[in-house]
Structure 1
């Protein structure tokens, strides 16, 4: 069995007929229409290959949860078709399918039984399910006494007790504590390595970047974008800002080095130049050594009189994780009342304590602590540089800690 999924021309409408007679008449007479019709999803089409991890993102109300319910068969489509090849395990709305009067153990038998597993198989898997959930004596208490986090633990444990062909995870995991989130993501990664297809819905865009091979952006019930994670996530971030300000434009371009540049903003101030240089010689750098003293130099041209100007930086690794970020609002270095035609230079000296790898710098020109009020210009991945380790002891990770082992034997320091 493969975990392939095909969604063809899918649509879901909620209709108000006004009377039962009118609804029944529509079965026989095509000219009879509902009094009111609201399409939550329309013309959705995509496919997921075996072993592929696909993220689905979008604002609240975009139709993400409805799409998952259609895929799992919880609700039926108005038009279109969903074809799933293989066994599906899904964690959708918190507590969906659970009975509050049953214990956790009883709910496991009930939930896994609905997934098609035999009682003997569930019985054999029960010790592992109970151990993974880690809720102790509550496992044999009525589920109505559970916290939301405990419900998530049981739901995830039973959904992943047997290896599915397609695993669907909605926002439910965000309710759990940090420890269980890490534990759950480890299991999801293991499934992915074993060839399980995954649909992952989350507002945590860093998790989406890390876990997914592909991302689908749903907006107003339609597929707005379908592509590689960095392209779709950056576009989504820019789109959110654009909705706050009708003057904004969004442009995307992929450079030869593979990094995608996403530029948005209203244009009252723009980045004229950004470069990374050696702090001592001012020589421009594309490769930096761990521990090297460097400086980011950014030149801004102001195209309109502004009340204030704030520069923000975000440094990300190749996977899109934010390594560091701040802005001049938080450092109390706001440029007050810049005027049209003015050129402003921002310098940021620092010691490179990043680990070996590839990194990007995303600048943002705004008027306050956020880009949601005034976004003059935001450019994702405008500058890209590599870090290498030439003269320090070997280490792994994204940060070079100022750390050295101290070893004592028989209470005597030996090194």
Structure 2
């Protein structure tokens, strides 16, 4: 067994004032003047040699505390931890670096703390410099490094020689995609050679791709321990507020199975569904309101993760408060950075064949079906409804921009964002 954790708990002491700490130290009867705040409690799991395990959880769940316990940075309040083999860890960015020392000097300092001899560090130095690829900055003080440069050097040091256990806590998130790919290529090579990987990441795609198993921490306890896909689905549900609608589902089962929404309800319940972003930008001239939406992929409504290239149906429900000769619903998908990836509307998607009128009091449901040929990542969905001539001037009635966040997963990633479905042949 590579890592064995048994009934571990970690609590921190809290004093109401600085004098309480002094009173406690001077107390002849060992009276406690503090209260305990438990960050972790009843944590038990085993990790086999060569296994890759992800740890997920919302901020404050106890992930970083658990990693500090595993690396020996702090001691458990209760329980026991047994670790077999040499550990290399990337926890807080720049941890162990002295800002006034050069990168090269910090290589030696960090290597010695990892248990390497000066001779071993010197032998590994060319590989560390080549992998970090920070050029002449290796001779500059670390205080002038960017966060990405610190991460490059820290990862190069930690993986200069293959560790028995590699622990990574979100450090790679500050690197560019090219260097991240380089890091994961080294991680995968070490995994093949038997290195145990413990990865903490808020990116569900990274957990699914690089880990066979995952542990979901919630409120300082293990909420679920299972396959990486099962755990990340639960984690995404936790993030985006998936609700248990089982009681309501019994009363409208047929509609929900086909549309994923209650066609009879005219209340604005758009904000109650998984994936909704409270930060949405809503605007328009009025006369119509988008009051509900549904996402359907395969046999799942409001899926936590959508496989890339999978046909996905997006439904919106619109309540009309005025009469309109022609209305045009629209759909838009963007990256988290706001880059427009694709947008269409009822006129474009129907190649000019679809003209829709509406009367005051009407409630209509519209559907856009899109094969999400995208790379792994998070994307934002916007909906809108306008009136007027789709080939001329249109008046926005209600637009809900960046109102839904979507997670797409692709097992074999490509470079870029959109999958253009390239084919290849050797022609000699």
TM-score, reference length from structure 2? 0.66
1:126 matched to 2:125: yes
Task: Report if aligned partners of 1:300, 1:345 keep a CA contact under 8 Å in 2.
Answer: no
Q: Taking structure 1 as reference, are residues 336 and 76 closer, same or farther at Cα in structure 2, changes over 3 Å only?
A: farther
Task: Report if aligned partners of 1:10, 1:80 keep a CA contact under 8 Å in 2.
Answer: yes
Q: 2:265 aligns with which of 304, 312, 315?
A: 304
Task: Report if aligned partners of 1:55, 1:215 keep a CA contact under 8 Å in 2.
Answer: yes
Q: 1:348 aligns with which of 365, 369, 373?
A: 369
Question: Where do residues 1-400 of structure 1 align in structure 2 (5 Å cutoff)?
Answer: 4-17=2-15, 18-23=20-25, 25=27, 29=30, 32-242=31-241, 248-249=243-244, 272-273=256-257, 300-302=261-263, 304-307=265-268, 308-312=291-295, 322-323=308-309, 327=314, 329-330=331-332, 346=367, 348=369, 369-370=402-403
In 1: Cα distance, 2:191 partner to 2:208 partner? 14
| RMSD, aligned CA | 4.3
Q: Taking structure 1 as reference, are residues 271 and 136 closer, same or farther at Cα in structure 2, changes over 3 Å only?
A: farther
In 1: Cα distance, 2:254 partner to 2:105 partner? 61
1:102: how far off? 1.1
What are the Cα deviations for residues 338-361 of structure 1, in whole angstroms up to 9, with x where unaligned?
xxxx895746387x989xxxxxxx
In 1: Cα distance, 2:357 partner to 2:7 partner? 53
1:322: how far off? 3.8
Residue aligning to 1:401: 421
Residue aligning to 1:392: none
What are the Cα deviations for residues 365-390 of structure 1, in whole angstroms up to 9, with x where unaligned?
9x955458xxxxx9999xxxxxxxxx
Task: Report if aligned partners of 1:301, 1:343 keep a CA contact under 8 Å in 2.
Answer: no
1:53: how far off? 0.4
Q: Taking structure 1 as reference, are residues 380 and 145 closer, same or farther at Cα in structure 2, changes over 3 Å only?
A: closer
In 2: Cα distance, 1:163 partner to 1:379 partner? 33
Helix, strand or coil for the counterpart of 2:241? helix
Helix, strand or coil for the counterpart of 2:50? coil
What are the Cα deviations for residues 158-189 of structure 1, in whole angstroms up to 9, with x where unaligned?
00001111000011110111111110011111
Task: Report if aligned partners of 1:299, 1:343 keep a CA contact under 8 Å in 2.
Answer: no
Q: Which runs of 5+ in 1 are unaligned?
A: 252-263, 275-297, 355-364, 373-377, 382-397, 408-414
1:224: how far off? 0.8
Task: Report if aligned partners of 1:5, 1:49 keep a CA contact under 8 Å in 2.
Answer: yes
In 1: Cα distance, 2:233 partner to 2:357 partner? 29
Residue aligning to 1:360: none
Q: Taking structure 1 as reference, are residues 322 and 206 closer, same or farther at Cα in structure 2, changes over 3 Å only?
A: farther
1:310: how far off? 2.5
Q: Taking structure 1 as reference, are residues 203 and 158 closer, same or farther at Cα in structure 2, changes over 3 Å only?
A: same
In 2: Cα distance, 1:379 partner to 1:132 partner? 31
1:45: how far off? 1.1
Task: Report if aligned partners of 2:21, 2:33 keep a CA contact under 8 Å in 1.
Answer: no
Q: Taking structure 1 as reference, are residues 77 and 303 closer, same or farther at Cα in structure 2, changes over 3 Å only?
A: farther
1:154: how far off? 0.5
In 1: Cα distance, 2:241 partner to 2:252 partner? 15
Q: Taking structure 1 as reference, are residues 96 and 236 closer, same or farther at Cα in structure 2, changes over 3 Å only?
A: same
